[in-house]
Amino acid sequence: MAHALIKGETGEWEIVIGMEVHAQVIANSKLFSGASTQFGAEPNSQVSLVDAAMPGMLPVLNAHVVEQAVRTGLGLNSKINNRSVFARKNYFYADLPQGYQISQFEDPIVGLGKIEIDLPDGTTKEIGITRLHLEQDAGKSMHDQHPSKSFVDLNRSGCALMEIVSEPDIRGPEEAAAYLSKLRMILRYLGTCDGNMDEGSMRADVNVSVRRPGGELGTRAEIKNVNSVKAVQMAIDYEVQRQIEILEDGGKIVQETRLWDPSRNETRSMRGKEDAHDYRYFPDPDLLPLVISNDYIEDIRKTLPELPDEKKHRFMNNFGLSLYDSSVLIAERPRADYYEAVANDRDAKLAANWVINELLGALNKDDKHITQSPITAEQLGGLITLISDNTISGKIAKDVFAEMYSSGKDAATIVDEKGLKQVTDTGAIEAVIDEVIAENPDNVAAYKGGKDKLFGFFVGQTMKKTGGKANPGIVNEILRKKLND
Ligand code: ADP
Ligand code: MG
């Protein structure tokens, strides 16, 4: 897509965005302790002595988390580093009892990679991944529990996060939304993060700047902790306008951290941007460098599922689906699996139409997920077989579908019970057509006199008399023969 440039008063501007996404790793226990990571537990019920930073406690690296990070790196087509180092990032927060966060700085576990994003205009684009590193989450301060006190919940303290950093390749709010959606989809396919932004298991820091098209990178502002795809788009829209106004008035952008305020739909300055040296990073003396072998990496690679983009391309190539249809179908793994079970040995395009337009439409109306579908994949497949072999017409199939959806019955059962089989008996159809012609002499005359449009009227009458069951192809053929004689 030729990305949208913004027209200002002094010329055009190009938007430049890079994202840092924090994704909570799916793991039963924390990055350096055995405490549980279960969401929604009583405050401070899942805090080990390590998480509370009691003196003398030592961190022990969670091997499963390392595996999850490697799996994610492979899913992001990234280089996995054989050696990485945990470092202390020092700062004070009331909900950070250690006084530092254990993170990775110069040597992250995952290096350069890329993902493909799908844009609304039906094109795709590659976005570079800079790195992925592991780090601890902080606890949570609660300021709204008591009129004069603040509380701290350390359940989240020490949970493993992956910070996934993108290159500044994103060129506007749509691309940012597509990037975040695709990233979330990949993590969910991999089973390394649940991607639930409303529970905070995935949060985005959005770096935004503007520049003259193709010019030098502008100074960026970083908008912290934006927690929905929609909010990311709105925050970018706001921030771009703010920066363009400042620049066009002859001002300068200050590099700083800003907050998105969803109640006022604006970003607000939070603090000046710290530089790395302000954190006084140094290798954590309690942890050895993490060394992993190529065999270890290859063993994990073998366990990777087919990822969204591979699936998307396979659906396009093997089933002849459009990019749009494929993108809809691969959006969630259960949805893709359902579709494949329906398409199995059947007309795959027809199957895609029925899954996308009819089934997803009906489920959406009822606020149901595909895993709760009252029609199984096998049942929907049965309906499609009946359409393909001309047992029923596409029009009757819609009624059968509605009945299947409400009753849970098989298509074949409903067709039998209601006598909906398509009439393909040429003799029977011919008899009905003779009736229609006999009953409408005026229209026959008008048609023969040149009113071609009346052909549809005769088709309609014939279908009506057969209760919609006559095979439309045969009806057309016989009518044409009789009327054009
Ligand atoms: P830090 O860790 O201090 O936030 P980084 O250099 O690691 O800084 O960059 C963080 C993010 O900012 C990356 O996603 C990167 O792509 C993005 N970024 C860097 N420069 C710009 C810029 N001029 N405009 C927009 N995004 C940028
Ligand atoms: Mg940052």
Which atom of ligand 1 is nearest to 167's Cα? 16
User: What's the 163 CA to ligand 1 centre distance in angstroms?
Assistant: 13
Q: How confident is the model at residue 277, as a pLDDT?
A: 72
| HEC profile of the chain | CCCCCEECCCCEEEEEEEEEEEEECCCCECCCCCCECCCCCCCCCCCCCCCCCCCCCCCCCCHHHHHHHHHHHHHCCCCECCEECEEEEECCCCCCCCCEEEEECCCCCECCEEEEEECCCCCEEEEEEEEEEEEECCCEEECCCCCCCCEEECCCCCCEEEEEEECCCECCHHHHHHHHHHHHHHHHHHCCCCCCHHHCCEEEEEEEEEECCCCCCCCCEEEEEECCHHHHHHHHHHHHHHHHHHHHCCCCCCCEEEEEECCCCEEEEEEECCCHHHHCCEECCCCCCEECCHHHHHHHHHCCCCCHHHHHHHHHHHHCCCHHHHHHHHCCHHHHHHHHHHHCCCCHHHHHHHHHHHHHHHHHHCCCCHHHCCCCHHHHHHHHHHHHCCCCCHHHHHHHHHHHHHHCCCHHHHHHHHCCCCECCHHHHHHHHHHHHHHCHHHHHHHHCCCHHHHHHHHHHHHHHCCCCECHHHHHHHHHHHHHC
Residue 305 is predicted with a pLDDT of: 95
Distance (Å, whole) CA 108 – CA 165: 11
Alpha-carbon distance of 393 to 291, in angstroms, equals 63
Per-residue confidence band for 1, with pLDDT thresholds at 50, 70 and 90: very low
Relative to the CA of 166, which ligand 1 atom is closest? 14
pLDDT band at 276 (very low <50, low <70, confident <90, very high): low
Q: Is 25 in the pocket of ligand 1 (CB under 6 A)?
A: no
Does any ligand 1 atom lie closer than 6 A to the CB of residue 207? Answer: yes
CA torsion 133-134-135-140 (nearest 10°) is 110
In the predicted structure, residue 2 carries a pLDDT above the cut 80: no
Least reliable range by pLDDT among 176-190, 255-269, 297-311, 347-361: 255-269
Q: Which atom of ligand 1 is found nearest the CA of 276?
A: 3
Query: What pLDDT does residue 8 have?
Result: 87
Q: Which ligand is nearest to the CA of 18?
A: 1
State whether the beta carbon of 165 lies less than 6 angstroms from ligand 1: yes
In this prediction, residue 411 carries a pLDDT of: 94
Q: How far is the CA of 12 from the centre of ligand 1 (A)?
A: 22
More confident residue, 18 or 394: 18
Q: What angle do CA 320, 336, 372 make, to 5 degrees?
A: 140
Give the per-residue pLDDT at 343. Answer: 95
- Pairwise CA distance, residues 276 & 105, whole Å: 9
- How would residue 3 be classed by pLDDT, with cut points 50, 70 and 90? low
Report every protein residue that has its C-beta within 5 angstroms of ion ligand 2: 20
- Does 30 score more than 50 pLDDT? yes
Mean of the per-residue pLDDT values for the chain? 93
For residue 274, pLDDT beyond 80: no
Atom of ligand 1 nearest to the CA of 274: 3
CA angle 115, 299, 286 (to 5 degrees): 85
- Closest residue CA from atom 3 of ligand 1: 275
18 CB near ligand 1 (under 6 Å): yes
Atom of ligand 1 nearest to the CA of 169: 16
- Angstrom distances, CA of residue 322 to CA of 31, 117, 189: 42, 15, 22
Q: Computed over its alpha carbons, how large is the radius of gyration of the chain? A: 30
- Which ligand is nearest the CA of 225, by number? 2
Q: Which ligand is nearest to the CA of 166?
A: 1
Q: What is the pLDDT of residue 68?
A: 98
Residues for the chain: how many in total? 485
Average pLDDT over residues 401-411: 95
Q: Looking at residues 192-202, what average pLDDT do you find?
A: 93
Ligand 1 proximity of 170 Cβ (cutoff 6 Å): no
What would the mean pLDDT of 345-359 be, rounded to a whole number? 96
CA 189/CA 303 separation, integer angstroms:
12
Distance 20 CA to ligand 2 centre (A): 6
Q: Is 209 in the pocket of ligand 1 (CB under 6 A)?
A: yes
> Minimum-distance ligand to the CA of 19?
1
Asked if residue 269 has pLDDT above 90, the reply is no
Which ligand 1 atom minimizes the distance to the CA of 217? 23
pLDDT tens readout for residues 92-115: 989 999 999 999 999 999 999 999
pLDDT-based confidence at 386, cuts 50/70/90?
A: very high
Q: Are 392 and 422 in contact (CB under 8 A)?
A: yes
pLDDT tens per residue across span 354-365? 999 999 999 999
Reported as a single tens digit per residue, the pLDDT across 103-158 is: 999 999 999 999 999 998 888 999 999 999 999 999 999 998 899 999 999 999 99
Which residues sit opposite 202 in a β-bridge? 23
More confident residue, 42 or 1: 42
Higher pLDDT, 40 or 136: 136
Ligand nearest to the CA of 133: 1
Q: Per mean pLDDT, which range of 92-106, 171-185, 267-281, 423-437 is the poorest? A: 267-281
Phi, psi of 310 (to 5 degrees): -60, -45
Q: What is the mean pLDDT of residues 48-68?
A: 96
Q: How far is the CA of 236 from the centre of ligand 1 (A)?
A: 15
* Ligand 1 atom closest to 275 (CA): 3
Per-residue pLDDT band for 466 (boundaries 50, 70, 90) equals confident
Whether 243 lines ligand 1, by a CB cut-off of 6 Å, is no
Distance of CA 163 to the CA centre of its chain: 19
Rounded CA gap, 79 and 260, in Å?
33
167 lines ligand 1 (CB under 6 A): yes
C-alpha closest to that of 20 among 129, 125, 124, 109: 129
For the segment 36-43, the average pLDDT, to the nearest whole number, is 92
Question: Would you say the CB of residue 163 lies under 6 angstroms from ligand 1?
Answer: no
Distance CA 475, CA 82 (A): 70
Contact 247, 253 (CB under 8 A): yes
Q: How far is CA 369 from CA 91, 178, 334, 365, 373, in A?
A: 43, 22, 9, 11, 7
Tokens of 259: 């907050």
**Residue 419: how many other CB atoms lie within 10 Å:** 8
Q: What is the pTM of this model?
A: 0.86
Contact by Cβ (8 Å): 67, 298:
no
Q: Please state whether 203 falls in left (phi above 0), alpha (psi between -120 and 50) or beta.
A: beta
Does any ligand 1 atom lie closer than 6 A to the CB of residue 89? no
- Atom 17 in ligand 1: residue holding the nearest Cα: 18
Residue 20 in contact with ligand 1 by CB distance below 6 A: yes
HSE value, Cβ hemisphere, 13 Å, CA-based, for 186: 23
Q: For residue 471, what pLDDT is reported?
A: 85
From the CA of 209, the nearest ligand is 1
At 221, give phi and psi (nearest 5°). -110, 145
Residues 6+ apart with CB under 8 A from 437: 444, 458, 482, 483
